[in-house]
């Protein structure tokens, strides 16, 4: 275990946000879920007692007699925000005093630094380049993500769960968001902690040796199948057709699984009823191409050393 | 409403059992804590801003404290009544005299000075009173005049004019201060006021001039007194110290910044290194053990490289702008590409600009690095711009010749075609123009090309002559070496000859066998060298000791009775065991003339020529400087061995004796294992592959591999190669974390250029450590066995080999004399001139370190110092001398021609037996025949001759071309006077100087005067006669021969002079110089024979002679005269 190497990575001023994120993301996820589950319990309690349901209550806390029905922004909200402001200011002060901006030497056009890493917020994108063509990873996928995020409010036909934390009423939305977000965080984590010189996979604690020679012979899925005996699949157009069939299969399987997952409970079935075909198919498209495709391709590559599934003369997936 | 709500809430809260989690909880504690934290971080940030990010402030206050303390100690020391301190000097009679003179001069003029002072203050007061009202009025008038100039209408002009006139006549009230201080108002008309104002000013100026005249003398006296004080003091005066203390007390705490060359250099180094340019020399122990405050170690360097112009980081490296920490300022962190050089490598900085210098003054380590780079043969494998320039120039010349020949053929074809075209055209006009081109223009163009080819051909001849190899010529090993010795040598050269230049290549047994076999089989075997008779070993030993061999070669001290340590220089091989490896016949030939090859090499045919080649053209197998063209294709041949070893013009017997002596040098009779495999033809191919792979041909001439390229990486800018491109291989982590790969211990991190170079030089194969590689892939650099200080020198040189970031305007680009000196050093170092001569001030020749040159007699035998050679000699003469140091002249050349003719006849025999060729010049020194060390013939090409002459002229900043000064012929009287001086008993010139009489010359220790007119420059001779010890410390030539006669501004002989001199009022030195330069052989002979009974000294002059002996400072240890 090379603790020195680990310390070099953790202590780099560049990586402060990422190290912080490792703690902050689980913490806020936990906090959010705690609130959400408390609310869910409250909903159950209120629904069980129609009398109580009709009284005023502040969210999270079921109403108690003699409590104020409403609270003013000032001072009750603002003082909390003020406290948060103070804490953030202190953190930023300390941060800026102790860590200087990581400036480097003047760029040398004749020498590329190794490893050559994007700023932390783009590391996920850079990591995606390992799994997809530059065009797909750099342009198509990010575009789909952004369009997907923009489209989401219009695909949502669930009227509940607006303005308060809840898990029961928002399972699909929260899950799909978390899958996407955690995938993104994992990619950033890989880019920071795992990828060393030559963008080679180093486990945390392994020395980043520039002379490291990994075994990284990746093959296209059609070629692997061709070696099993179906030689013709190794040649175009069969190669492309086979890949397309595999991608199609993936869409069908992933779509079926997605459908099962979003219609698990009665409540969700009811919501599904409210959803139009257009809304639902658009949702499925984004769910499959982003939420499923990314982790699946990552695993195919890392576990089975499969480079591409669909190989065409124009693009590869 | 809001109140109601609040009341309601209060009410409710009081009643409820369970408190409201939001409204009832107080956040004051959390707010208090975070507020305190915020305030603390605010304080912290302010501290960080003011002190944390500005550590130089602490340095500055520490500097002020330490400096003041040091100054106080100095002041106390100055006040103590010791000899040479201020107080003591103030008590001396001389000081008092000067002081009295100053006082007297002051008092003499004191009344008038006082008067003037009084009047001037009066004038000042009055001017002060007048100035304001007067200037106000004048300004008003000036503005009116402008109005007058710009008014258009005549009537308007008139009215302005009249108002000006009114103002001029108007009375202006002036408040005059009276002597008693009261004020008296007075109305004065403007015109009068103007006059009075100007008069007062004139008077004041007049008085000031007078005052300056009066105080001039006393000022002069004061200066003299202070100068005396200053010159007598060893340190600073109390007042000077006080001044520095005053300055230090007023110290301004701020960034000290040097900003030069349009912002390309911004250095804030002196913000902490405050003592660098202080007038006092500060050391760490004086400054409270703080190394940052010491003065710059070399003020000379700072004078040449003024920090205001150059900054600091230009030379030293480091981040000149960085002020936040020591690491940042010194640039010793990952992202600063030009870190501060470590102390031992500091001269690397010099090389940034002085990379074209072979020798840089005050940069010993760097010079050493360059010496090593050349001498250890690094340059053989690693190209470095400037080193080995002959090979580069040769390649380019050959390339150009090829190009020109192509051009020539094209022109000839064009000529033919144009002529044919002229036949065909119909118009007369056109035909004439074409014929003109074919018959007039083109032939001239071709002839121009021919001229250039001829010149380039000549250049290739010179360049081939100048091109040298570090190692010996391996084509001749069959004649030179014992066969069995070859594999023994290859196994471990260091074991056979410690300190040898031959590195060891980490070869295994099979490789050694293959390489030996290849070398042996590729050696020349068709030329047999003549057998030689054995010589006299003892005589050879003496000759070896005395001729100057040890200037370059070292040898076991026992062999020449000089102690048990190795004696001599490291420029060439240690000869202690030559007898175990070499063949006698070859060594005789080598010593007789090392440049003589067995067979000439033809670069155009890429092979060595054989006697048959010559025979086929009916020529004798003769090749030398005058017969350097190939009989087969007329191209220049390599006719000399590529060695720097010169020709000592020894007689054949001398050569045999020395060779016999060398062959007697053995460490016991050697027993070598059988080496019959050297003739095994099957090994040859493998051997050739290995020899190519290891780059043997970089240092040696090997048959068939003459055109091999360099196998190493170019090092010209190795120091600025990105660190990522230096292959630390598996040692990368060790380097980054500070593990010593050799000892395995802890050390500071060495992942930098310095670390890479140092370990590579210590152990060139080190970066293969732990790697699994096939033999072909392994690092090839051999082990050179360098000492630590040699590694430091080479590392310094490599670190300084950079593409510099220094602004163009600051670079060193010498021209004229400096350029000549710069170029010449390459030749001087190449031939190791400093083995015998003192060339660089402060660098003793190798010979001076040898025991036998230590005593008085030995010192007299040291070759002359050349530090002022350019000022001393006539460049034309120098050229002649360098070409043939025996100065044998045309007769010798004729004799040579005869010998060659004889040689021609002999060489036409069927079997080629290479005998000894004749020598250039005679078997003697040309100038200093009394020196047993011989100035050898280096056989310089005209290029190098020119460079050397220019070097000596340039180094002494002599104008070129040299136009000799015309000396007035002596009159009859002068002739007599000069002769008297020349033969004076006090300084009998001919006692030490050679005369050409063999009996006399055996004891002589200085050159013949007859050489002087052609050789010396009169101006230098004059200076030499006055004080030779100043020009050449330790010379046998006595100093103090002449005294300065200030009255007449001339030099007079300090010994007794005949009465006739009383009427001679000119310079005696001048007279003697003119005499020397007009001395004839006859006259000298006459004087020389009469020299035993000198005519000059008057009877009974023994006492004067002895008093003269006191005046003339005869050095105890003596070196030769000019």
Mean pLDDT of the region A96-117: 84
Residues of B in contact with A89 (CB under 8 A): 38, 41
- Between residues B396 and B15, which one has the greater pLDDT? B396
If you compute the radius of gyration of chain A from its CA atoms, what whole number of angstroms results? 25
| CA distances for B112 relative to A31, B212, B881, angstroms | 100, 12, 71
Model pLDDT, residue B917? 66
Q: Tell me the backbone φ, ψ of residue A213, rounded to 5 degrees.
A: -115, 105
Give B426-467 pLDDT, tens digit per residue: 888 888 888 888 888 999 999 999 999 989 988 998 999 898
CB-CB under 8 Å, B8 with A68: yes
Classify residue A91: in a domain, yes or no: no
Cα–Cα distance measured from residue B488 to residue B129, given in angstroms and rounded to the nearest whole number: 106
Q: What angle do CA B155, B161, B166 make, to 5 degrees?
A: 130
- DSSP secondary structure string for all residues of B1055-1071: S---GGGGG--S-HHHH
Q: What residue in B sits closest to A87 (Cα-Cα)?
A: B34
> Hey, CA dihedral for A75, A79, A81, A85, is it positive or negative?
positive
Mean pLDDT of the region B795-815: 89
Neighbours of B608 (CB within 10 A): 22
pLDDT at B1104 over 50: no
Model pLDDT, residue B26? 87
Classify residue A73: in a domain, yes or no: no
Model pLDDT, residue B233? 66
3-state secondary structure chain A: CCHHHHHHHHHCHHHHHHHHHHHHHHHHHHHHHHHHHHHHHHHHHHHHCHHHHHCCCCCCCCCCCCCCCCCCHHHHHHHHHHHHHHHHHHHHHHHHHHCCCCCCCCCCCCCCCCCCCCCHHHHHHHHHHHHCCHHHHHHHHHHHHHHHHHHHHHHCCCCCCCCCCCCHHHHHHHHHHHHHHHHHHHHHHHHHHHECHHHCECCCCCCCCCCCCCCCCCECHHHHHHHHCCHHHHCCCHHHHHHHHHHHHHHHHHHHHHHHHHCCCHHHHHHHHHCCHHHHHHHHHHHHHHHHHHHHHHHHHHHHCECCCCECCCCEC
CB burial of B746-770 (b: ≥16 within 10 Å; e: otherwise) equals eeeebbbbbbbbbbbbbebebbbee
Cα–Cα distance measured from residue B264 to residue B267, given in angstroms and rounded to the nearest whole number: 10
Q: Does A63 reach chain B within 8 Å, measured CB to CB? A: no
Mean pLDDT of the region B1069-1093: 77
Classify residue A9: in a domain, yes or no: no
The pair of three-digit structure tokens given for residue B177, joined into one six-digit string = 């201060």
pLDDT at B1106 over 50: no
Does this chain's domain B474-595+641-698 share its CATH topology with B972-1111? yes
Give B984-1032 pLDDT, tens digit per residue: 877 788 888 888 777 787 778 888 888 888 889 888 998 888 888 888 8
CB-CB under 8 Å, B44 with A93: yes
Least reliable range by pLDDT among B337-341, B717-721, B1034-1038: B1034-1038
Give B366-386 pLDDT, tens digit per residue: 999 999 999 898 998 999 988
Q: Which contacts (CB < 8 Å, 24+ apart) does range A32-35 have?
A: A32/A165, A33/A167, A35/A60, A35/A165
% of chain B exceeding 70 in pLDDT? 91
Q: What residue in B sits closest to A110 (Cα-Cα)?
A: B722
Selecting from B23, B48, B733 the residue whose C-beta is nearest the C-beta of A207 gives B733
Residues of B in contact with A71 (CB under 8 A): 22-23
| pLDDT grade for B474, boundaries at 50, 70 and 90 | very high
pLDDT at B903 over 60: no
pLDDT at B269 over 90: yes
Cα–Cα distance measured from residue B523 to residue B175, given in angstroms and rounded to the nearest whole number: 113
Cα–Cα distance measured from residue B889 to residue B894, given in angstroms and rounded to the nearest whole number: 9
CB-CB under 8 Å, A211 with B730: yes
Mean pLDDT of the region B734-763: 92
Model pLDDT, residue A60? 64
Mean pLDDT of the region A108-127: 87
pLDDT at B1103 over 60: no
Mean pLDDT of the region B1050-1067: 81
Q: What angle do CA B904, B905, B910 make, to 5 degrees?
A: 95
Residues of B in contact with A84 (CB under 8 A): none
The CATH class for the domain spanning B389-466 reads mainly alpha
Domain count, chain A: 1
Single out the residue of B538, B542, B544, B540 nearest to residue B653, CA to CA: B540
Q: Does A64 reach chain B within 8 Å, measured CB to CB? A: yes
Cα–Cα distance measured from residue B32 to residue B47, given in angstroms and rounded to the nearest whole number: 23
Place of tokens 């001037």: B120
Model pLDDT, residue B1013? 86
% of chain A exceeding 90 in pLDDT? 52
Cα–Cα distance measured from residue B525 to residue B541, given in angstroms and rounded to the nearest whole number: 32
pLDDT at B316 over 70: yes
Classify residue A273: in a domain, yes or no: yes
Mean pLDDT of the region B7-22: 61
| pLDDT grade for B90, boundaries at 50, 70 and 90 | confident
Give A271-286 pLDDT, tens digit per residue: 999 999 999 999 999 9
Cα–Cα distance measured from residue B356 to residue B379, given in angstroms and rounded to the nearest whole number: 15
pLDDT at B587 over 60: yes
| Predicted ipTM > 0.90 | no
Mutate to test the interface with A, among B8, B16, B20, B35 (most CBs of A within 10 A): B20
3-state secondary structure of B748: coil
| CA distances for B171 relative to A123, B144, B168, B175, B728, angstroms | 90, 18, 8, 13, 95
> Hey, CA dihedral for B152, B153, B154, B159, is it positive or negative?
negative
Q: Does A109 reach chain B within 8 Å, measured CB to CB? A: no
Mutate to test the interface with A, among B38, B43, B50, B322 (most CBs of A within 10 A): B38
Least reliable range by pLDDT among A59-63, B400-404, B895-899, B1071-1075: B895-899
Classify residue A195: in a domain, yes or no: yes
Average pLDDT, chain A: 89
Classify residue A152: in a domain, yes or no: yes
Judge if the upstream peptide bond of residue B846 is cis by omega within 30 degrees of 0.
no
Give B779-802 pLDDT, tens digit per residue: 999 998 899 999 999 999 999 999
CB-CB under 8 Å, B732 with A83: no
Highest mean pLDDT among A86-95, A195-204, B126-135, B216-225: A86-95
Give B653-707 pLDDT, tens digit per residue: 889 999 999 999 888 888 888 888 989 899 999 999 999 999 999 899 999 898 8
Q: Are B917 and B832 in contact (CB under 8 A)?
A: no
Residues of A in contact with B12 (CB under 8 A): 66-68
- Between residues B852 and B452, which one has the greater pLDDT? B452
Q: Are B1031 and B1023 in contact (CB under 8 A)?
A: yes
Single out the residue of B706, B445, B465, B662 nearest to residue B573, CA to CA: B662
CB-CB under 8 Å, B12 with A67: yes
Residues of A in contact with B732 (CB under 8 A): 209-211
Helices (H), B276-425: 299-304, 307-310, 313-316, 326-330, 348-351, 364-375, 378-381, 389-424
Selecting from B20, B30, B733 the residue whose C-beta is nearest the C-beta of A209 gives B733
Classify residue A36: in a domain, yes or no: no
Cα–Cα distance measured from residue B282 to residue B1024, given in angstroms and rounded to the nearest whole number: 39
Model pLDDT, residue B797? 96
| pLDDT grade for B254, boundaries at 50, 70 and 90 | very high
Check residue B608 and report its DSSP letter.
Answer: E
Mean pLDDT of the region A152-168: 88
Range of the domain at A216: 119-304
Residues of A in contact with B37 (CB under 8 A): 86, 90
Residues of A in contact with B35 (CB under 8 A): 86
Model pLDDT, residue B206? 92
Q: What angle do CA B576, B580, B583 make, to 5 degrees?
A: 110
The pair of three-digit structure tokens given for residue B689, joined into one six-digit string = 């592959």
Cα–Cα distance measured from residue B885 to residue B927, given in angstroms and rounded to the nearest whole number: 8
Classify residue A310: in a domain, yes or no: no
Selecting from B16, B334, B724 the residue whose C-beta is nearest the C-beta of A67 gives B16
CB contacts < 8 A (A, B) = 80
Selecting from B34, B44, B45 the residue whose C-beta is nearest the C-beta of A86 gives B34
Check residue B567 and report its DSSP letter.
Answer: E
Average pLDDT, chain B: 85
Measured CB to CB, residues of chain B less than 8 Å from chain A are 5, 8-9, 12-13, 15-16, 18, 20-23, 27, 30-31, 34-35, 37-38, 41-42, 44-45, 48, 52, 334-337, 722, 724-725, 729-730, 732-733, 737
Mean pLDDT of the region B870-881: 91
CB-CB under 8 Å, A209 with B37: no
Q: Which CATH architecture has domain B972-1111?
A: Orthogonal Bundle (1.10)
Residues of B in contact with A210 (CB under 8 A): 732
| pLDDT grade for A147, boundaries at 50, 70 and 90 | very high
3-state secondary structure of B769: coil
Residue range B474-595+641-698, CATH number = 1.10.760.10
């Amino acid at each position: 275990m090379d603790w020195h190497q680990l310390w070099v990575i953790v202590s780099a001023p560049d990586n402060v946000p990422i190290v912080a994120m490792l703690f902050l993301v689980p913490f806020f996820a936990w906090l959010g879920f705690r609130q959400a589950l408390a609310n869910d319990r409250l909903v159950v309690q209120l629904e069980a007692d129609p009398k109580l349901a009709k009284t005023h209550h502040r969210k999270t806390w079921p109403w108690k007699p003699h409590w104020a029905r409403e609270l003013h922004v000032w001072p009750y909200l603002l003082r909390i925000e003020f406290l948060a402001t103070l804490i953030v200011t202190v953190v930023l002060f300390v941060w800026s005093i102790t860590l200087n901006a990581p400036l480097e030497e003047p760029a040398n056009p004749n020498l590329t630094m190794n490893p050559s890493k994007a700023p932390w917020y783009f590391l996920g994108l850079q990591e995606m380049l390992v799994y997809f063509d530059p065009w797909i990873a750099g342009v198509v996928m990010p575009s789909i993500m952004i369009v997907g995020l923009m489209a989401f409010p219009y695909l949502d036909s669930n009227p509940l769960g607006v303005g308060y934390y809840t898990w029961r009423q928002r399972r699909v939305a929260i899950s799909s968001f978390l899958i996407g977000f955690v995938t993104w965080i994992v990619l950033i984590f890989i880019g920071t902690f795992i990828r060393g010189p030559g963008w080679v996979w180093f486990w945390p604690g392994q020395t980043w040796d520039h002379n490291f020679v990994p075994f990284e012979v990746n093959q296209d899925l059609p070629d692997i199948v061709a070696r099993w005996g179906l030689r013709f699949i190794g040649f175009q157009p069969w190669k492309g057709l086979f890949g397309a069939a595999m991608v199609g299969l993936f869409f069908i399987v992933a779509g079926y699984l997605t459908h099962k997952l979003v219609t698990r409970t009665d409540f969700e079935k009811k919501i599904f009823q409210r959803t139009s075909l257009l809304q639902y198919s658009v949702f499925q498209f984004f769910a499959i191409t982003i939420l499923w495709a990314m982790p699946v391709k990552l695993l195919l590559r890392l576990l089975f050393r499969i480079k591409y599934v669909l190989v065409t003369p124009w693009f590869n997936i | 409403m809001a109140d109601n709500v609040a009341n309601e809430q209060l009410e409710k809260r009081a009643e409820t059992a369970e408190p409201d989690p939001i409204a009832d909880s107080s956040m004051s504690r959390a707010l208090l804590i975070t507020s305190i934290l915020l305030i603390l971080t605010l304080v912290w940030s302010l501290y960080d801003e003011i002190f944390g990010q500005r550590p130089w402030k602490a340095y500055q206050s520490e500097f002020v404290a330490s400096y003041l303390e040091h100054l106080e100690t100095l002041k106390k020391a100055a006040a103590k009544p010791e000899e040479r301190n201020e107080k003591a000097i103030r008590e001396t009679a001389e000081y008092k005299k000067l002081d009295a003179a100053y006082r007297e001069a002051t008092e003499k003029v004191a009344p008038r000075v006082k008067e003037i002072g009084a009047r001037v203050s009066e004038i000042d007061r009055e001017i002060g009173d007048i100035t304001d009202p007067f200037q106000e009025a004048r300004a008003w008038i000036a503005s009116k005049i402008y109005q007058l100039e710009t008014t258009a209408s005549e009537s308007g002009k008139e009215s302005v004019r009249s108002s000006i006139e009114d103002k001029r006549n108007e009375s202006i009230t002036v408040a005059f201060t009276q002597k008693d201080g009261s004020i008296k108002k007075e109305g004065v008309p403007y015109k009068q006021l103007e006059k009075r104002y100007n008069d007062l000013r004139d008077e004041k100026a007049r008085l000031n001039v007078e005052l300056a005249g009066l105080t001039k003398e006393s000022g002069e006296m004061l200066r003299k007194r202070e100068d005396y004080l200053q010159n007598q003091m060893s340190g600073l005066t109390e007042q000077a110290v006080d001044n520095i203390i005053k300055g230090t007390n007023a110290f301004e705490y701020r960034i000290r910044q040097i900003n030069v060359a349009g912002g390309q250099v911004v250095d804030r180094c002196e913000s902490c290194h405050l003592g660098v340019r202080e007038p006092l020399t500060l050391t760490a122990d004086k400054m409270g053990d703080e190394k940052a405050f010491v003065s710059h170690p070399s003020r000379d360097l700072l004078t040449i490289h003024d920090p205001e112009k150059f900054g600091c980081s230009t030379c030293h490296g480091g981040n000149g702008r960085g002020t936040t920490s020591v690491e940042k300022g010194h640039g010793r962190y990952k992202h600063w590409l030009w870190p501060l050089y470590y102390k031992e490598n500091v001269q690397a900085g010099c090389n940034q600009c002085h990379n074209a210098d072979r020798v840089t003054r005050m940069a010993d380590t760097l010079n050493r690095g360059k010496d090593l780079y050349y001498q250890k043969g690094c340059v053989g494998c690693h190209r470095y711009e400037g080193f080995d320039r002959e090979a580069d120039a040769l390649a380019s010349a050959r390339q150009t010749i090829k190009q020109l020949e192509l051009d020539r053929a094209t022109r000839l074809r064009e000529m033919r075609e144009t002529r044919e075209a002229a036949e065909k055209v119909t118009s007369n006009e056109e035909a004439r123009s074409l014929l003109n081109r074919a018959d007039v223009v083109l032939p001239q163009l071709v002839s121009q090309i021919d001229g250039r080819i001829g010149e380039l051909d000549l250049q290739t001849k010179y360049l081939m002559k100048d091109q040298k190899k570090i190692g010996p010529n391996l084509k001749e090993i069959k004649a030179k070496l014992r066969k069995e010795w070859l594999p023994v040598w290859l196994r471990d050269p260091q074991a056979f000859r410690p300190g040898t230049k031959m590195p060891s290549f980490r070869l295994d047994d099979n490789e050694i066998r293959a390489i030996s076999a290849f070398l042996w089989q590729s050696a020349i075997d068709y030329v047999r060298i003549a057998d030689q008779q054995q010589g006299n070993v003892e005589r050879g030993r003496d000759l070896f000791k005395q001729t100057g061999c040890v200037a370059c070669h070292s040898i076991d001290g026992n062999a020449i009775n000089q102690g048990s340590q190795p004696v001599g220089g490291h420029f060439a091989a240690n000869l202690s065991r030559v007898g175990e490896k070499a063949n006698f016949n070859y060594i005789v030939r080598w010593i007789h003339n090392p440049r003589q090859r067995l067979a000439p090499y033809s670069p155009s045919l890429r092979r060595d020529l054989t006697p048959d080649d010559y025979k086929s053209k009916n020529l004798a197998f003769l090749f030398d400087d005058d017969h350097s063209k190939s009989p087969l294709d007329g191209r220049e041949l390599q006719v000399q061995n590529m060695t720097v070893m010169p020709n000592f013009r020894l007689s054949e017997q001398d050569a045999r004796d020395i060779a016999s002596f060398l062959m007697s040098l053995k460490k016991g009779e050697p027993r070598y294992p059988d080496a019959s495999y050297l003739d095994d033809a099957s090994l040859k191919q493998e051997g050739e592959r290995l020899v190519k792979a290891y780059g043997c041909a970089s240092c040696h001439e090997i048959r068939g591999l003459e055109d091999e390229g360099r196998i190493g990486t170019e090092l010209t800018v190795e120091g600025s190669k990105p660190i990522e491109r230096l292959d630390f291989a598996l040692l990368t982590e060790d380097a980054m974390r500070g593990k010593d790969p050799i000892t395995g211990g802890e050390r500071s991190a060495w992942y930098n250029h310095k670390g890479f170079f140092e370990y590579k030089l210590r152990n060139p194969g080190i970066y293969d450590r732990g790697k699994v590689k096939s033999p072909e892939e392994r690092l090839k650099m051999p082990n050179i066995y360098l000492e630590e200080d040699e590694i430091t020198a080479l590392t310094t040189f490599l670190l300084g080999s950079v593409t510099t970031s220094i602004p163009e305007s600051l670079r060193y680009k010498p021209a004229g004399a400096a350029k000549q000196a710069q170029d010449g050093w390459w030749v001087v170092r190449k031939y190791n001139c400093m083995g015998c001569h003192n060339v660089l001030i402060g660098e003793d020749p190798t010979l001076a370190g040898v025991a036998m040159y230590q005593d008085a007699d030995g010192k007299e035998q040291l070759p002359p110092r050349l530090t002022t050679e350019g000022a001393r000699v006539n460049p034309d003469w120098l050229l002649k001398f360098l070409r043939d140091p025996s100065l044998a002249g045309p007769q010798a050349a004729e004799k040579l021609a005869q010998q060659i003719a004889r040689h021609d006849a002999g060489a036409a025999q069927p079997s080629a037996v290479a005998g000894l060729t004749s020598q250039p010049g005679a078997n003697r020194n040309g100038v200093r025949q009394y020196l047993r060390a011989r100035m050898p013939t280096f056989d310089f090409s005209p290029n190098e001759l020119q460079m050397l002459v220019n070097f000596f002229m340039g180094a002494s900043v002599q104008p070129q071309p040299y136009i000799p000064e015309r000396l007035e012929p002596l009159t009859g009287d002068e002739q007599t006077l000069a002769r008297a001086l020349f033969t004076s008993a006090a300084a009998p010139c001919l006692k030490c100087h050679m005369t050409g009489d063999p009996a006399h010359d055996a004891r002589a220790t200085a050159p013949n005067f007859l050489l002087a007119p052609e050789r010396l420059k009169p101006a230098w001779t004059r200076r030499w006669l006055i004080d030779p010890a100043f020009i050449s410390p330790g010379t046998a030539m006595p100093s103090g021969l002449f005294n300065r006669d200030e009255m007449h501004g001339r030099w007079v002989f300090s010994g007794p002079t005949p009465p006739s001199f009383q009427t001679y009022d000119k310079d005696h030195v001048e007279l003697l110089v003119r005499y020397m330069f007009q001395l004839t052989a006859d006259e000298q002979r006459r004087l020389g024979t009469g020299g035993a009974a000198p005519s000059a000294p008057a009877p009974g002059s023994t006492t004067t002679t002895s008093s003269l002996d006191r005046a003339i400072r005869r050095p105890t240890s003596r070196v030769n005269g000019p």
